[in-house]
Chains A and B, each alone.
Chain A
Amino acid sequence: MCLAVPMEVKKITDNWAVVEYEGTRREVRLDLVDPKPEVGDYVIIHAGFALHRIDEEEAKENLKYWKEILNKDI
C-alpha cells in the first residue's frame, strides 16, 4: 500500500501540482514535500501527495555506478 510512483511535475498552482507519467495525469498536493519541486522535476507520488523530490544527481550517480559494475568484477 506504500506504493508510490515517480511522476513529472507539469504545472504548479499554490499547493497543487499537475503531474504526469506515461500519459496519465493527476492533481496532487504539495503540503508534504520539501524542497518544493519545480516544473520538470520528478516527484514520488503516494495517495494524492508528492512525498519526495527525486534527486536527479543521486539518480545519475546510481546509474553511473551500475554502468561501472557492468564493466568490472563485483
Chain B
Amino acid sequence: MKHLSEYRDKELAQKLIAAIRDQSKRPIRLMEVCGTHTVSIFRHGIRQVLPPTIQLISGPGCPVCVTATEEIDRAVKLARNPGVMITTFGDLVRVPGSQSSLQMERASGADVRMVYSTFDALKLARENQNKKVIFLAIGFETTAPTIAAAVLEAKLLGLENYFILSAHKLLPPALEVLLNSGDLNLQGFIYPGHVTTIIGTGAYEQVAEKYHLPGVVCGFEPVDILETILMLVRQIEQGQAKVEIQYKRGSSAIGNPKALNVLNRVFVPCDAPWRGLGTIPDSGLALRPEFRAFAAEDHFDLQVPPAQDHPGCACGEVLRGIKTPLQCLLFRTACRPDSPIGPCMVSTEGTCAAYFKYNE
C-alpha cells in the first residue's frame, strides 16, 4: 500500500516505545483478540520492547482456533458422504476432531478443497453439478458478510447443489463471557481492526461502560500496535475507559452498514459452541428460514457422538488468556506445527503456533 514504509518506520517506533516506557506506571494486562495482531506482535518483537509493567495476552481471536471439536466432527462426517465435495478456508482442514480431521479424510479419498473465497466454492458448485458442494463457513464478522453474499448469489443462480455449514462466531458475546468469568485480570482491549471495519464500535462502547474497560481499535503494522498500546496506557493512567480508534484508515465507529445489511438479510444470531468457552448464547449465525435450502444441517445427517478433546491440550485455557502455551505440557513436545494436537498450533494465527515460530 502507499505509505506502508511509514507504518514500519523505525524512528517513529522508537519514539512510541520511549513514550510507552515513560508513561506506563502501573502493571497492566492488555488482551488482543485478533490472530493477525498476535502474529504481528510476535513477528515484530513488540513484547520484547515493552516495559515490564505491560503484559500482552492473546484472546480468542482466531476463528480456526475457536471452532469447537464437535463442529470439526460434523465436518468430518459430512466429508464421508458419497458425492460430497467439502470446501473451506486453509487451516481448518488440519484441525483434529475427536477421531479424524478433514486432511485425514482427504487422504482416505474424500473430496476436500481449500478455497480463497466463497465465490470459488460457488464456481466449483456450478462446474460440478453431480456433486453436492458444501462450504464450511468459519470466521468472525469480517468474513460472515462474504459468506452471506455468496448465499445470495447462489439463490440468484438457482444453485441446488451448494450448501453451507455455518460455524461462524460473533466476537462481542465472547468478550463478555471472558470478562464475566472472573479469571482475567484485564485492564484494556486491543480491538481487531477488520472486525471493526464491519461492526463499528457500538459493542465495544457497551464493554467500556459495563466493565469500565478501555479499548482501542488497532491496525496491523508495528507502529499501529505501538500507538494503540500508548493510547491504552494513557487512558489507564488517567482512569479513563473510552473506546478509541487508532486504525482510522480502515475502520470507523459506524462500521460498514452495507455489509451488515447483507449479513443480516441472510443470517440470524444463534447459540454457538466455542472451543474453551462452551456454548455462548447468540454468538453464532444460522441461515434465515428463506435460505434454508442452503443449510447443510437440513439436508445431511450431522448427528455425532459427544466430542472428545485430547486430555492434555490447553487450547481452551490459552484461548481464554488464562494460560500461555508455555504452561501446556504438550507444547513443543507432543504438539508441534508438523504434528499439531490443538487448533492453536494448527492455525498460522494461533497463539501456540506464534510462540513456537518465534521461539518464546
Q: How far is the CB of A26 from chain B (nearest CB, A)?
A: 8
Instruction: Give the complex CA separation of A49 and B194 in angstroms.
Output: 13
Residues of B1-59 contacting chain A, CB below 8 A:
1-3, 6, 9, 11-12, 15-16, 19, 34-36
- A44–B36 contact, CB under 8 A? no
Classify chain B: how many residues form its interface, as a range: 35 or more
Residues of B283-322 contacting chain A, CB below 8 A:
none
Interface of B is mostly: helix
Q: A31-B262, A32-B262, A34-B256 are in contact. Are A48 and B116 (CB under 8 A)?
A: yes
The interface residues of chain A lying within 8 Å CB-to-CB of B198 are 51
Q: How many contacts A-B (CB < 8 Å)?
A: 126
The interface residues of chain A lying within 8 Å CB-to-CB of B1 are 5-7, 21, 42, 54
Instruction: Give the complex CA separation of A42 and B250 in angstroms.
Output: 10
- Interface size for A (C-beta < 8 A) is 33
For the complex, is B340 an interface residue (Cβ under 8 Å from A)? Answer: no
Q: Which residues of B contact A (CB under 8 A)?
A: 1-3, 6, 9, 11-12, 15-16, 19, 34-36, 62-64, 89, 91, 116-120, 138-140, 142-143, 145-146, 149, 152, 192-195, 197-198, 223, 230, 248-251, 256-259, 262, 347, 349
For this complex, 19 residue pairs linking A to B, each with C-beta atoms less than 8 Å apart, are A1-B36, A2-B193, A3-B194, A3-B349, A4-B197, A6-B250, A31-B262, A32-B146, A42-B2, A47-B118, A48-B117, A49-B117, A52-B197, A59-B3, A66-B6, A66-B12, A69-B12, A69-B15, A74-B230
